[in-house]
Structure 1
Amino acid sequence: MNAVTVIAGDGPIVLAQPHSGTFVPQDIAANLTARGRKLADTDWHIPQLYDGLLPDATIVRAEFNRYVIDANRPPDGATLYPGQNTTGLVPMVDFENHPLWLEEPGDAEIARRREAFHRPYHAALQAELDRVRGLHGFAVLYDCHSIQSCLPFLFEGRLPDLNIGTDNGATCHPAIEAAVANACADGPYSHVVNGRFRGGWTTRHYGRPDCKIHAIQMEIAQSTYLEAEEPPFAYSPDKAASLRDTLAAVFGGIQSTFGDLA
């Protein structure tokens, strides 16, 4: 299996999907705990959730699971949220603080995975952003994520349904942040801007409005589109239909800002 899937579109929006993959090479899978092999922290069904909402978008998707290596973490492993619990470049524990490995991967193994998986994903993403910016004069990176709505190890209480991240406004034109927030406010879901999740490494690394690349992260509570937030993490078409309406409005809002970005 290829580590990365690229579907090139003609529009100015690039959908990054770093955490929806479920591929784990056999040698890596053999070292996962029984709990780890469930891949519980996957951003389940993100490709299906977004399918067809933006036909001219480019999609860059990591097919490898985040337990192999996390494509939304800095390659040097630096923490994204100092002082808060989080997981690393190659996570050693899951989102409930349970060990993932029978034997923790060492520095050499992490470096091997970085070259085999993390680097190709970001090379593909950078290439598509450059291509799209060349076509339109600007590019908008929309980073697609989802997570369980209640994870005490990572945050208190229940997560809002829709979590918009722009690193406190640094990663995109303010019109984009406002348009996305307004679209979320008009729907039936709770939302927050730059709350617990204000954008991971992808958003912060690529979001350079002065260079005509704008980035925004959407972290969705999985309760909004899964039958249940537990195995088998089944997709709920009924729940997802309503959420897709709101996401379509989000994309409409982003498209309305294109005049400000050119």
Structure 2
Amino acid sequence: MTNEFEPFEIREPAVQTIPFVYNSPHSGRCYPSAFLDESRLDDHSIRRSEDHYVDELFSAAPSFGAPLLVAHFPRAYVDVNREPYELDPRMFSDPLPPYANSNSARVAGGLGTIPRIVAENMEIYEGRMPLSSAMERIETCYKPYHACLRRLIARTHARFGLGVLIDCHSMPGNIRVAGSGIKPDFIVGDRYGTSASAELSRAALQFLEELGFVAVRNKPYAGGFITEHYGRPARDLHALQIEVNRSLYIDEATLEKRPDFDMLAGSLAIFMGQMADFVADYFGDQALAAE
């Protein structure tokens, strides 16, 4: 797979000047030819799980002095927002290793590390695959991606004394908040207060609302493995998941960008600047650029 394209890239500023790392793990749209040959889905349907163009929506991050890590491999191929071995035994022709987690709710829903379905419960494969295929994806995509993300976060923390990871995603346009009927434009996830400080979450919600969006916290998306794994507020490591409603910027049937795509990207650039200013003010000198 890596002979066809690089699995990911870091879009770096000339110098990192703010304690932020932006991450787009699900916007990859380079599909390995062997994977497409294995799939029962057409080239359009298999894209249903993408966080379409989220890397472009948050593309201003380097201009504010923060790196942006972008996956090129698609989520349908391997999902880095899962534990490394959340595997469904029904998908493979070989027995799973004893360390695999085959009992998670995500595996049961068909959305493990190697997904069984794309959105709308569309099965990806005709039959079972060899376990070696899954292990190759984990070794060549999943593990290097997380190693890179860990380095970026560790470098940021060492330089500034704190780190803020913004994990960037999109959600279907039909999402509603249960019991309220609210259709959110954005969901800010902090794993119910465990992955980031409450002040940081409240600031993100406030800035999005001031920009004219409907923003909610944690429901129905509180954050996945990345947010949970890297957010350690007690150690000055904060992680927020930002979900953008896809209907704001693409036609969900054709997956084409809407005319106001650039306007939304501009609003998110304002949001990124506001978040950087808030962290500098709230956390004080440790959030200022190191000499």
Rounded to whole Å, the distance in 2 between the matches of 1:162 and 1:214 is 19
Q: How far is 1:52 from its partner?
A: 2.1
* Contact 1:13–1:139 under 8 Å retained in 2: yes
Show CA shifts across 1:38-80 (max 9, x none): 3121111112212225511101111100111001111121577
Query: Which residue matches 1:162?
Result: 186
The structure 2 residue matched to 1:176, chosen from 156, 181, 200, is 200
Letter in 1 for 2:280: F
Letter in 2 for 1:66: R
Evaluate the alpha carbon distance shift between residue 87 and residue 176 of structure 1 in structure 2; reply closer, same or farther with a 3 A threshold: same
Q: How far is 1:237 from its partner?
A: 4.0
Show CA shifts across 1:237-261 (max 9, x none): 4244046325523541353133444
Rounded to whole Å, the distance in 2 between the matches of 1:85 and 1:220 is 22
Query: Which residue matches 1:253?
Result: 275
Evaluate the alpha carbon distance shift between residue 255 and residue 74 of structure 1 in structure 2; reply closer, same or farther with a 3 A threshold: farther
Letter in 1 for 2:199: A
Show CA shifts across 1:121-145 (max 9, x none): 1011001111111211111100010
TM-align CA RMSD: 2.6
Rounded to whole Å, the distance in 2 between the matches of 1:86 and 1:144 is 22
Q: How far is 1:84 from its partner?
A: 8.7
Letter in 2 for 1:253: M
Match of 1:172, SS state, is: coil
Find out whether 1:6 has 2:15 as its counterpart: no
**Identity of aligned pairs, percent?**
24
Rounded to whole Å, the distance in 1 between the matches of 2:105 and 2:276 is 27
Query: Which residue matches 1:63?
Result: 72
- In the alignment, structure 2 segments of 5+ residues that lack a partner are 87-100, 287-291
Show CA shifts across 1:6-52 (max 9, x none): 12330211110101111222222210123466312111111221222
- In the alignment, structure 1 segments of 5+ residues that lack a partner are none
Letter in 2 for 1:41: S
Find out whether 1:33 has 2:40 as its counterpart: yes
Match of 1:120, SS state, is: helix
Rounded to whole Å, the distance in 2 between the matches of 1:31 and 1:237 is 35
Rounded to whole Å, the distance in 1 between the matches of 2:203 and 2:81 is 24
The structure 2 residue matched to 1:188, chosen from 197, 209, 212, is 212
Worse-superposed segment, 165-174 or 106-115: 106-115
Aligned residues: 258
* Contact 1:183–1:250 under 8 Å retained in 2: no
Worse-superposed segment, 176-185 or 156-165: 156-165
Q: How far is 1:104 from its partner?
A: 3.5
Evaluate the alpha carbon distance shift between residue 104 and residue 204 of structure 1 in structure 2; reply closer, same or farther with a 3 A threshold: same
Query: Which residue matches 1:132?
Result: 156
Show CA shifts across 1:207-232 (max 9, x none): 01122211000011101111x1122x
Worse-superposed segment, 26-35 or 14-23: 26-35
What TM-score do the two structures reach when normalised by structure 1? 0.88
Rounded to whole Å, the distance in 2 between the matches of 1:14 and 1:90 is 25
Q: Pairwise mapping of residues 38-187 of structure 1 onto structure 2 (< 5 A)? A: 38=45, 39-52=47-60, 55=63, 56-77=65-86, 78=101, 85=109, 87-150=111-174, 159-187=183-211
Q: If you compute each CA radius of gyration, which structure gives the higher value, 1 or 2?
A: 2
* Contact 1:96–1:151 under 8 Å retained in 2: no
Match of 1:71, SS state, is: coil
Rounded to whole Å, the distance in 1 between the matches of 2:73 and 2:244 is 20
Q: How far is 1:105 from its partner?
A: 3.2
Match of 2:275, SS state, is: helix
Q: How far is 1:158 from its partner?
A: 7.6
Match of 2:146, SS state, is: helix
Q: How far is 1:102 from its partner?
A: 2.1
